[in-house]
Amino acid sequence: MAILLAVADPAVDLLAVTTVAGNQTVDKCTVNARRVLSLAGASGIPVARGADRPLVRRLRIADDVHGKTGLDGPLFDDEPSVPESPYSAQELLVDVLRTTPATIVATGALTNIARLLSDEPGLAANITEIVWMGGSTDRGNIAPLAEANAYVDPEAADLVVQSGVPFTMCGLNVTHRALVTADVLARFEQLGTPLARVCIEWMTFFASTYRELFGFESPPLHDPVAVARVIDPAIVGCVDANLVIETQGEWTTGATVVDLDGYTGRPPNAQVAVALDQAAFWDRIVAAVSALS
């Protein structure tokens, strides 16, 4: 859904998509990205395979949430028409950033970006901003205080946050307000298109797993919140705060420690999402899917 929004919204010029292990293996995530771009008719967007594991840890995938394909719901038998780029994610990021200042929207572990900043520090100046769907100012979803995208590779998240590149965190505290209610599903039903039907199947599959695991009556739609922040900052309200990533805690590894009240005296190093205009958010997504249908 985040990719569909980025493809179709007129405020975004989507230059490339890279994948990373986390929701599933990087092989499956790469197929999924190609499939979504194929459904969107976005054949000109390159898709490059990224890191297949975290920087230093063993990979933990979230197949209990996202299913055996990483994008369960509708059944697809055909091969995606959008091909995989011959370049790696690292090579594609370097190629884009050498010529074009760009914002990076990250909706998974930050492994690819951490490697880019470590290997090509000179390109940091061409990253306008990194907007991350990850972390939380309060609860986690894979551990008591850790959100999954932070937990998978906290060392990568720590490196990126400390890099000095402008950084925005859209965490669970806000994405849990982007709920796929019955009224939202009805708006997609009213579109009456094959793509809208696929979107409904994705969201209803996610609804069933979120209900079983977390007790949500309506599931949150996490990743498009980060894209919406880029489209119109007024949709996702943020505050300046100091952010650190816990990498050593026995019970808190992967926690995103946000000093909203200035307890530590450390200067702000991130913008942290704290509010969501739900009506505007869903209007942009429904409009995007309608435009692609």
For the stretch 216-273, pLDDT in tens is: 788 899 999 999 999 999 999 999 999 999 999 999 999 999 999 999 999 999 999 9
Contact indicator for 227, 2 with CB cutoff of 8 Å: yes
Residue the block writes with tokens 């599933």:
24
> Is 222 noted as a catalytic residue in this protein?
yes
**Range 58-80 average pLDDT:** 80
Cα 36 off chain centre by: 14
Tell me: pLDDT of 115 over 70. Answer: yes
CATH of domain 2-292: 3.90.245.10
Question: What phi, psi does 281 have (nearest 5°)?
Answer: -60, -50
- The predicted model scores a pTM of 0.95
Instruction: Select which of 35, 222, 229, 284 is catalytic.
Output: 222
Q: Give the Cα separation of 159 and 50 in Å (integer).
A: 17
Q: What is the pLDDT of residues 156-209, one digit of tens each?
A: 999 999 999 999 999 999 999 999 999 999 999 999 999 999 999 998 886 677
Question: What length does the chain have?
Answer: 293
Band the pLDDT of 78: cuts 50, 70, 90.
confident
Single-letter amino acid code for the residue at 290: S
What are the boundaries of each domain within the chain? 2-292
- List strands edge to edge, sheet with 167-170: 102-106, 127-133, 167-170, 270-276, 236-245, 256-259
Q: Which residues contact 280 (CB under 8 A, 6 or more apart)?
A: 228, 232, 234, 235
Contact by Cβ (8 Å): 233, 12:
no
Q: What is the C-alpha end-to-end distance of the chain, expressed in Å?
A: 13
What does the pLDDT read at residue 206? Answer: 66
The mean pLDDT of 98-113, rounded to a whole number, is 97
- For residues 4 and 40, the answer to whether their CB atoms sit within 8 Å is yes
Residue with tokens 């899917």, as numbered in its chain: 289
Average per-residue pLDDT for the chain: 94
**Eight-class DSSP state of 173:** H
Please say if the pLDDT value at position 125 is more than 80: yes
Mean pLDDT of 91-118: 98
Place of tokens 């922040």: 229
